[in-house]
Amino acid sequence: MMQWQSWSAFFNMGGYAFYVWASFGLTVLCLVWEVWALRKRSAAALHLARLLAQDQ
């Protein structure tokens, strides 16, 4: 079922390597960045809420 003769053929994507891998790479990058940014935001929000809760 595999479509590829070798790994290098797979990475070469029939000569369209740049366009295919740029598309998938950018997608992964964007989604990883979003999750990372949200984790940071979540930690900061929780920290602030804790500080406020302790004040009283």
Partner 1 sequence: MIPWFAWMAAVFAMIGLYVGFAIAPTDFQQGEAYRIIFVHVPAAWMSMIIYIVMAAWAALGLVLNARLSAMMAQALAPTGAIFTLLALVTGSFWGKPMWGTWWVWDARLTSELILLFLYLGFIALQSSIDDPRKADRAGALLALVGAVNVPIIYFSVKWWNTLHQGSTISMGAAPKMVTTMLIGMLLMALAFWMYTIAVALMRVRCIMLERERSSAWVKELSGVAS
Instruction: Name which of 13, 21, 22 is nearest 4 in CA terms.
Output: 13
Q: Is 30 in the site for partner 1 (CB under 8 A)?
A: yes
Query: Does residue 11 interact with partner 1 by CB under 8 A?
Result: no
Radius of gyration of the chain (CA): 21
Q: Minimum distance between the CB of residue 51 and partner 1, rounded to whole angstroms? A: 9
Q: CA quadruple 8, 9, 13, 15: dihedral positive or negative?
A: positive
Least distance between partner 1 and beta carbon 7 (Å): 12
Determine contact, residues 22/29, Cβ cutoff 8 Å: no
- By the criterion CB under 8 A, which residues form the site for partner 1? 1-4, 10, 13-16, 19-20, 22-24, 26-27, 30-31, 34-35, 38-39, 41-42, 45-46, 48-50, 52-53, 56
